[in-house]
Structure 1
Amino acid sequence: MIYRIFIFLLLFLFIPFEAFSQRSLTGKVTDSLNNPLAGANLIAEPRDSLKQLKFAITGDDGKFSLQLENIYYTVTASFMGFEPNSFEIKPSANMSKDIVLNPKAEGLEEVLIEMPVVVKEDTIVYNVDKLVTGEERKLKDILKKLPGVEVDRDGTIRVRGKEVTVMLVENKKFFGGGSKLAAENIPADAIDQIEVLDNYNEVAFLKNVSDSKEMAMNVKLKEDKKNFAFGDVEAGKGNKDFYRAHGNLFYYSPKTNLNVIGNLNNIREQVLTYEQYFNFKGGLNSVFNQGSTDLNSSNIDFTQFLESQDVVESRRQFGALNISQEVNNKLDISAYGLFSKTNEKTFVEAINRYNSFSEISENSSAIDNVIGIGNIQAVYLPNLTDQWYFKSLFKRTDNKYKKRINSVVDSLNNTFLTNEDVRGSFFNQSIEWHRKSSKEHTFSAAVNYTFEKRLPEILWETSDPILQGLVPIVEQPVYLINQKKRVKNNQFNAFFKHYWVLNKNHHIYTTLGNTYLNNKFQTHEYQNLDDGSFNDFSNDNFGNDLDFTLNDLFLGLHYKFQLGIFSFDQGSYLHQYSWKVSQADLVTKNKILILPSLRAEAKLSQTKDFEFEYQLKSSFSDAPQFASRYYLRTYNSVAQGNENIENGLSHNFKFRFNKFSTYRGFQYYAVANYTQQVQGVVNSVNYEGINQSIIPILLQDPETRWSIYGRLSKKISEIDFRGGTRYNASRYKQIVNSNLVENTNTNFSYNISGKALFDNFPIIELGFRQIFGSYKLSGRKSKFITNEPFLNVDYDFWKGFIFSFDYTAYRYKNKDLNLSNNYEIANTSLYYNKGNSAWSFEVEAQNLFDVEFKSRNSFSSYIISDNRTYILPRIIMFTIGYKL
């Protein structure tokens, strides 16, 4: 039945219907000398106020295309510095008309025309009222309708293929600049304009002397939302005791901004993921990131607390407060706080293919995460040439984790219980100073201190043999293995940068910096015995007390110049490394490296550009990789470090191309990345059944990775066609049971879709995704294919009703394991809000077909897995909302 629906909709999207009777108005906008005007705006305003406004922007050649109905329109062409030109038209067929704009004459009264989209250098301004229909509820609903803007399922926002990294509201950072909280919570009816700022830097006078990779989005509010509190609250009740409650409050004035967000639910509604909380690290302006060495921090103590997208039980509590206050014209203070408590349970059935055997497992887990984050920032501007930034960030986590694993290998059944408790603290303090002393000379300096402490305590329990031959176990009916770890990190950074502007096209940048890192790593493992005593493993080469210190002194010199449309930034950093590993023996090493870099950009036109980047990067492992004695990693693995490993070294290439044309109604961009490790740390793994012993080893040419990602969109009449493709591949070496093997991992996916955007008709998107995967692990291969047709429908009708429906069918098959699985996921809702009423009502259904589990394929350094992950049952929820 569902495929018949797909065929019908496919015909609807790809066969033109006369009922919609769209006509094209094309032409060219020029000045009085017949020079094309690129980026001119055209607005077609219908005489019937119930009809939708149409707009277009001219391409580099001045051409435009408007899709119109057979009704009367007033068409206005406008361009900055020129008098607007308006005319009336009722297109009965496809028409062509060229438009000439005359320069503004001095002394004439200026006529203001609000353009839907204004593009100027690296800034795009969207006037929201000209681009939306009024049924949008949150910021994310508006963003999905803006040309060139994409919003992923995880809340990531991209504009013309580049990710938005800083979110601002009224020019102030929204909860530290993250985009997800803003997209999910800011009411759509409060938004007036959206600005996109490429090459963004919060220090304005650094913008022209630094190559920032940041892209900011600034939300500007309507005047009636300023000096006035606004927001909304929602409360919902569902079947089987499901519930949700959500509220937010906003207040913006010239000197004071306040944001409050709260959420409570048991339907797996994520405000922020644990990984996103983990990424709140504070820190310095992005100009100080260049030249720093990558310090690879082991997050194994926290990876198990990352929430799954698919759970069998979920309870979440979230609260957030953000406030900023302009004390006077020199001092601005802002702060935010986040609190989250999450309880979730998962259940996964898996077939795991190791290097020499297969395992069937059942995994059930329960996590209890409590996270608190506090941040305060002060910006001090004593004069027009100096800016000071003081930033503090504190995080506190208390995480509990329980897991039960039932493992079957060659008919041998084992059950393992894991109980883990991890308490952690994080603190970051930074001070920045920036000065523009003259037109030619600008200076920046900063100091940054970070402290982190983790206290994991783990108990493994089983009645089956555990870690045989790896751990000195005393035989008992029930084995209770304990581990206590102490991890403490201190890092101090200092930077000084000088920007020398020789002239408009030639700059010289100098950087002097130092990074000091101290890691302490302690472990203690023992077995609880039935008589109340302990079997301490310390006498069998277990237990670590390690102090790792690294100092990186570096000097950088870069020369940036511009030739026409091309700009180049080339140079290198000279690093002097010295590190010390202190445990039973003392190991001291020193090394000098030169790390070159090159960045080239070309602005081919206002709508077309490309970027190329190369870096030779150095990286260091953290303390556990240097530990000389054994420590437990998991219920079936023991690790030992290698105090003689050194830094990793890799070549990194990136290429990005972007083209955007509103005249032809298309956009495409492509991004390619290539990384080749010259030397790096890999794990040498020895297997005894499912048990593993792991030792890191430094290898030459250990890994090569490459990826290509591209996206194309084209609007034909009132249908928006989109397509995308992604290719990821890697080749890496591994030592397994003393044999050097080479593994490969290849993934290719593509998607195509068409979205109908006719006036007074449902918005229907129909698409198809296909994923191919191929893994090779120690000579054993595994291939899978996933087909995913999908359908999205949005329909607003009867002046207040909004119907939404999304559907995805999954068709999964693993050829090598002869596994296949088919399931369908659908969600739907009906929302009602009458006119200007503050009240709203919604009925929604999640997992409409009551699917029990999903199937997925995963790949790691040791295992190829086929997983069956169980999910929440069908949820039917009734929600009442009220706008404040």
Structure 2
Amino acid sequence: MKEKIAVIFFTLFVSAFSSAQTIVLKGIVQDSLQKPLSFTNVIAKPKELSQNMRFVVSDEEGKYRLELKKNHSYTISASYLGYETTSFLITPDENIIKDIILVESKNQLDEVIIELPVTIKKDTIIYNADKFVDGSERKLKNILKKLPGVEVDKNGGVTVQGKKVTKLLVDGKKFFGGGTKLGVENIPAGAVDKVEVIDNYNEVAFLKNISDSDDMAMNIQLKEDKKRFLFGDVEAGTNVGYDSYHKASANLFYYSPKTNVNFIGNLNNIGEKTFTFKDYMNFQGGVNAVFNGNFNWKGGDFSQFLENSDVLSSNQRFGALNITKTVASKLDVSGYVIFSQSNNVSFSETLNEYTTFSEDKSNKSSSENLLGIGKLNMEYAPNNKEQWYARSQVKKLNVSNENNILSIISTENNNIATKRKNDTWYINQNIEWHKEHSYKHTFSAIADYTFDKNTPTSNWLASDTYAKTIQNIVQPVDTTQSQLRLFQNKFTERHHLHTVFKDFWVLNNNNHIYSTIGNTHQQEKFSSNDFQLLDDNSRNDFKSGGFNNNTVFKHNDFFAGIHYKFRTGIFTFKQGVYLHNYHWKVNQEELIDKEKWVLLPDFLLKIEFNKSKKIQLNYNLKTNFSNASQLTNRFYLQSYNSVFKGNPILENELYHSARIRYSRFSLYRGLMLHASANYTKKVKGFRSAVNFDGVNRFLTTQLLENPNENWGIRGSLRKKIKKIRYKLSGAYNNSKYLQSVNNTFVNNKNTNYNFEVGAETLFDKFPTIEVGYKRTIGNYTSNNSTSNFITNEPFATVDYDFLKGFVFNFDYRHYDYQNKSLGAQNKYDIANAMLSYQKEDSPWLFKITTQNLFNTTFKQNNSFSDYLISDTRTYIMPRVVLFSIGYKL
């Protein structure tokens, strides 16, 4: 492995040495009064057509810096909105310092502005895609990676100047709910005309300056010949070998001035997940940013079934259809439907370290998940000062899961088979209204209703010997049976109604007053029924042992808030307070009825030194209530060896939350710096209490004073030097919390940190090579027990376009996993490769893809919970080689 990494580092060194054949042209762009002109386009157009154009944007001080090839001729042009373009010819043989003077233009032509590679206006950056592409790009992500200040990660996330893009639009319309991944991975590069980035985005234009939105939107403007056109691509592949692996995908798009239709489909059995947990979160619904913090109800217990862990075998089926229609000049209707089905088999081996004993556990599971999401949106704008939204969303999930567990403690072996099913419904309806009543007053209001229903069932099958080990926690168990057969039926139903009204009072440009009034009403029903099925198929009900729940929880939150926001120079302050009246009832065998008032202050400070250097500080005093399943007064099974009993007298958590963020970006210096620190301190908080009986355990929830404290820092630095970009990132987290274990309070501490260093080549006629090293360290301390884990990860990736049509991608990561507590170590490699060919101007694509190139058997990691430290081996799919043929429409 070391030899492999050494070769890659040597290649990087040779590449860096070759950059000595470049020179640097730099200086300051100024107007006729010697005032620096920030964000000026400076372009170097080579005389030789085979050479690529060079381009930079001047920084906030007007500085620019171009790297040019030695002894090559270039035409240097500088362009700025409202100024005459100036040009000059240069054939440099050494570094040059040259200031550029621009003169104000008498006649401003929009056509000239459109041709600029980048146009910057206040909070908006517009990239002209044609100025950055060379024809080898396949998807939108390939274009984005070439835009200055834009980065795309492997999960389809996009950042611009260090800030995450939270909304993706196509011709001004949300693309599949606004998440970036589906668009970045699937929109064809050939359809993209311009990429528009909008900071502090709000979909309602007149709310932009008052909403305090931290969203950043990216709008993909299509080429004119794609605005009434069907385009996209299809691809199908099968394995090279004896096993039956396959993949088929389709990405089809139809756009016209009034109708947009998008379809994405994927079918595979190679473990490729098209719809992940992060994607699901982007389809949660959402409301306008002006209501952020007034209610945060997500709803729908879906996410746990969508996270795709490493598997032994997998079948994935995914389809998504999105339609946007302009029905009238004032009315837009849009909607989407998403279908996802997965069948997975997984296997893991885990060493569990409890406080007083250890457990070796193996788990083989098979699951079938079927998810459907549908959403309908209507947007009505009677005029440019009023906006209405009506949104309806339905989600449906069916889950079936089977687990076979072998648990070994000392010399005692237990086999447990578990079957779980869940049928989940989620329905959300909201109506939203915004009106700019006058210059001074703007109103916003929303009514949001959510219905959420879960009906999970579970059953556990084990040997009769295991029945005797759990009798201490499930006393009604009959130990005379040939097998232990436990069953559980649960039912959860939630209704939530949120109403909020806001008034934005603009005193002047620098002083605003915001007032809020609202109410949140929720009602939850929770029931559980646990029993044993005997050999004669009769039921042994556990009610006499304190099981079986029937809980109704009603909670009402009436709140009012006032905030004052003012701006002076580079500073923006916003401070205010919310007053909440909480009234809740817990109805079980007896009624608990309580009411209380809570005052929650918050504070915001922004320091904007310039558009590329900012600091933001947030502080909130927050509160949180539990749900019905945590308030039960009787037991219910959580797993084959875990019994939970709620705490009906729980009140609310109260905690301090603070965060500071710093960002710095400079194209001139090739610098991107982002750092943040966060702190959370619970004044009152929920903690789980556990009592052990061997591996079996009783759990409940307690409300403790000062139960935990968390703080962490993280940062990333990217610096470009000549044709290499260097990267450094790291994070540190420290968590201390109090826990009741076997009726004794213990102090636990979790400290973990990681750092990553790397370098990436940026040459025009050379492969893009990235090499780096990551180190992760976790220290877990509980009472007198300490565990320490270290993972070292050197890695390398290669992206290479060559011979006019060939594309080669390779990613490699070596893992050196160490459990210092046990003196154990494991080393393994994960690698994937892809080679494709598409002749220029041909619609046909041919591709060979290899995943798990070294045929690695398993991955290894660790985790830490309230009372448990786990070291887990997760087995993965074997090497898969696919040959694919694609066709571009």
> TM-score per shorter chain, which class?
over 0.9
Instruction: Find the counterpart in structure 1 of residue 624 from structure 2.
Output: 619
Instruction: Find the counterpart in structure 2 of residue 359 from structure 1.
Output: 359
Q: Does 1:469 align with 2:472?
A: yes
Q: Does 1:98 align with 2:127?
A: no
Give RMSD over aligned pairs. 1.6
Instruction: Find the counterpart in structure 1 of residue 566 from structure 2.
Output: 561
* Cα separation, partners in 2 of 1:109 and 1:651, compared to 1, 3 Å: closer
Per-residue CA deviations over 1:203-222 (Å, capped at 9, x if unaligned) read: 11111111112221111111
Q: Which amino acid aligns with 1:405?
A: I
Instruction: Find the counterpart in structure 1 of residue 662 from structure 2.
Output: 657
Instruction: Find the counterpart in structure 2 of residue 84 from structure 1.
Output: 85
Q: Does 1:348 align with 2:348?
A: yes
Instruction: Find the counterpart in structure 1 of residue 155 from structure 2.
Output: 154
Instruction: Find the counterpart in structure 1 of residue 287 from structure 2.
Output: 284
Hey, what's the Cα distance between the residues in 2 that align with 1:426 and 1:152?
A: 31
1:295 CA drift (Å):
6.0
* Contact 2:299 2:452 survives alignment (8 Å): no
Q: Which amino acid aligns with 1:529?
A: L
* Contact 1:283 1:391 survives alignment (8 Å): no
* Contact 2:46 2:52 survives alignment (8 Å): yes
Deviates more, 1:752-761 or 1:108-117: 108-117
Deviates more, 1:16-25 or 1:532-541: 16-25
Instruction: Find the counterpart in structure 1 of residue 124 from structure 2.
Output: 123
Hey, what's the Cα distance between the residues in 2 that align with 1:703 and 1:118?
A: 48
* Contact 2:162 2:665 survives alignment (8 Å): no
* Cα separation, partners in 2 of 1:425 and 1:279, compared to 1, 3 Å: farther
* Contact 1:403 1:417 survives alignment (8 Å): yes
1:495 CA drift (Å):
0.6
Q: Which amino acid aligns with 1:21?
A: Q
* Contact 1:387 1:433 survives alignment (8 Å): yes
* Contact 2:19 2:722 survives alignment (8 Å): no
Paired residue total: 880
Hey, what's the Cα distance between the residues in 2 that align with 1:841 and 1:195?
A: 32
1:362 CA drift (Å):
0.6
Q: Which amino acid aligns with 1:253?
A: S
1:194 CA drift (Å):
1.4
Q: Does 1:694 align with 2:699?
A: yes
Instruction: Find the counterpart in structure 2 of residue 430 from structure 1.
Output: 430
- Give the TM-score, by structure 1 length: 0.97
Q: Does 1:259 align with 2:258?
A: no
Q: Which amino acid aligns with 1:541?
A: G
Per-residue CA deviations over 1:478-531 (Å, capped at 9, x if unaligned) read: 111000000000000001000000111100000000000101000001000011
Hey, what's the Cα distance between the residues in 2 that align with 1:634 and 1:122?
A: 52
Per-residue CA deviations over 1:136-156 (Å, capped at 9, x if unaligned) read: 221222223333333333322
Instruction: Find the counterpart in structure 2 of residue 516 from structure 1.
Output: 521
* Cα separation, partners in 2 of 1:639 and 1:42, compared to 1, 3 Å: same
1:39 CA drift (Å):
1.1
Per-residue CA deviations over 1:70-128 (Å, capped at 9, x if unaligned) read: 32211111111111111111222222211110111248997446333333332222222
Instruction: Find the counterpart in structure 1 of residue 48 from structure 2.
Output: 48
* Cα separation, partners in 2 of 1:737 and 1:664, compared to 1, 3 Å: same
Instruction: Find the counterpart in structure 2 of residue 875 from structure 1.
Output: 880
Q: Does 1:586 align with 2:591?
A: yes
* Contact 2:739 2:745 survives alignment (8 Å): yes
Pick the aligned partner of 2:250 from 247, 252, 258.
247
Question: What is the SS of the residue equivalent to 1:382?
Answer: strand
Per-residue CA deviations over 1:524-562 (Å, capped at 9, x if unaligned) read: 010000112110001211000000000000000000000
Hey, what's the Cα distance between the residues in 2 that align with 1:883 and 1:152?
A: 25
Instruction: Find the counterpart in structure 1 of residue 403 from structure 2.
Output: 403
1:20 CA drift (Å):
6.0
* Contact 1:800 1:835 survives alignment (8 Å): yes
Matches for 1:105-504 after TM superposition, within 5 Å:
105-106=106-107, 111-112=112-113, 114-238=115-239, 239=241, 240-274=243-277, 276-277=279-280, 280-292=283-295, 299=301, 305-463=305-463, 464-466=465-467, 467-471=470-474, 472-475=476-479, 476-504=481-509
Question: What is the SS of the residue equivalent to 2:383?
Answer: coil
Matches for 1:52-71 after TM superposition, within 5 Å:
52-70=52-70, 71=72
* Contact 1:283 1:428 survives alignment (8 Å): no
Hey, what's the Cα distance between the residues in 1 that align with 2:19 and 2:330?
A: 61
* Cα separation, partners in 2 of 1:482 and 1:194, compared to 1, 3 Å: same
Per-residue CA deviations over 1:709-733 (Å, capped at 9, x if unaligned) read: 2111111111111111111221111
1:275 CA drift (Å):
5.9
1:789 CA drift (Å):
0.8
1:18 CA drift (Å):
4.0
Mark the runs of 5 or more structure 1 residues left unpaired by the alignment.
none
Hey, what's the Cα distance between the residues in 2 that align with 1:108 and 1:283?
A: 40
Instruction: Find the counterpart in structure 1 of residue 853 from structure 2.
Output: 848
* Contact 1:230 1:250 survives alignment (8 Å): yes
1:19 CA drift (Å):
6.8
Deviates more, 1:798-807 or 1:53-62: 53-62
- Give the TM-score, by structure 2 length: 0.97
1:661 CA drift (Å):
0.5
Pick the aligned partner of 1:781 from 776, 783, 786.
786
Question: What is the SS of the residue equivalent to 1:189?
Answer: helix
Q: Which amino acid aligns with 1:602?
A: I
Q: Does 1:9 align with 2:1?
A: no
Q: Does 1:536 align with 2:535?
A: no
Hey, what's the Cα distance between the residues in 1 that align with 2:662 and 2:26?
A: 28
* Contact 2:760 2:771 survives alignment (8 Å): yes
Hey, what's the Cα distance between the residues in 1 that align with 2:710 and 2:817?
A: 26
Per-residue CA deviations over 1:545-589 (Å, capped at 9, x if unaligned) read: 000000000000000000111111110000000000000010011
Hey, what's the Cα distance between the residues in 2 that align with 1:768 and 1:55?
A: 31
Hey, what's the Cα distance between the residues in 1 that align with 2:807 and 2:108?
A: 49
* Cα separation, partners in 2 of 1:531 and 1:728, compared to 1, 3 Å: same
* Contact 1:283 1:448 survives alignment (8 Å): no
Per-residue CA deviations over 1:660-706 (Å, capped at 9, x if unaligned) read: 10111111111211111111111110001111111111001111112
Mark the runs of 5 or more structure 2 residues left unpaired by the alignment.
none
Question: What is the SS of the residue equivalent to 2:406?
Answer: strand
